[in-house]
Copies of this chain bind each other. A is one copy, B any other.
Amino acid sequence: MSKYVFGIDVGGTSVKLGLLSTEGELLEKWEIPTRTEDKGKNILPDIAESVLEKVKERSIAASEVVGAGIGLPGPVDEAGVIYKAVNLGWDREFNVAEELSELLSGMKVKAGNDANVAALGEYWQGAGKGKKELVMVTLGTGVGGGVIHDGKIVTGANGAGGEIGHICINPEETIACNCGNKGCFEQYGSATGMVRLAKEELEASDEDSILRGRRVSAKAIWDAVKEGDPLAIRVAERIGACLGLGLSVIAGVLNPEAFVLGGGVSMAGDILISYVRKNFEKHAFHACRNAEIILATLGNNAGLTGAAKLVID
């Protein structure tokens, strides 16, 4: 009987691998480097080698493995085709699930977008456990997202379902986002965006602030808010306004039970939630207003956990 499943989370610098039970227990976790040189041609062979080594090391029989799920930094469609993944050096469109399966002697493989599988992970084993209508928002260097409907990922027509970092929340913005558009959610809700807003406030006056004269980071901003720094609080109000507006828009489309906030910025904790909540309630349609806004609990394991779930489903 199948009792094991592999979860793989591919990032630009390292690949996180996990061996899980089919019940979702993380039995072992390890990492290998992501070799992006030569157009990333070694990435999948390296992963396959590492998985097969683990199978051998633990004397696992093929019949005991459900399969391997893999999360990737790019749009992946239902069939497992990735369109582009610049961070991995991949410049061609190909079926990742099929190629990895071949390298694993026919093991069942499912592939998904990294933010989407992280959402599935939080739904399966994390903060969103049992909440079948769920949106995860990952606040990191950028803003990623994943939509869970009826307990499954909403992949979208081109694998770009849940690409909420690039919904426009400010059509008046004059500065361009990395994607080329202007006014993207990511320009305000990411760590990078938060630092930009703080620098704007610092430059606008000579007002005293804990943030002045030191390297400003998202962590520094939220720490200063916790200490009651008036300038940092103004920045937090602006961040909260943008995040609350963004979530309210998503709520109007999907009416989820909950939003799970993850990524490095979410480490700010309850104080972040309170600023987001207040602004969310201001803009959300009344029938969607009771959505919970909660912190992710799986941290860096969300991706590999969700990837494992992908292949179980």
Contacts and interface: CB of A to CB of B under 8 A. Distances in A.
Interface of A: 75, 83, 133, 145, 147, 149, 154-164, 166-169, 171, 179-181, 183-184, 241, 245, 248-250, 252-257, 282-288, 290-291
A180 B149 contact: no
A310 to B, nearest CB: 16
A158 B288 contact: yes
B180 A286 contact: yes
Q: Is the interface of A mostly helix, strand, loop or mixed?
A: loop
B83 A163 contact: no
Given A154-B149, A250-B253, A254-B253, A283 B168 contact: yes
A250 B149 CA distance: 15
Contacts of A83: 287
Copies in the complex: 2
A76 to B, nearest CB: 11
10 contacts: A83-B287, A155-B255, A156-B288, A159-B287, A161-B255, A164-B253, A167-B252, A180-B286, A250-B253, A254-B254
Nearest to A242: B171
A253 B147 contact: yes
A135 B154 CA distance: 14
Contacts of A256: 156-157
A163 B253 CA distance: 6
A286 B248 CA distance: 23
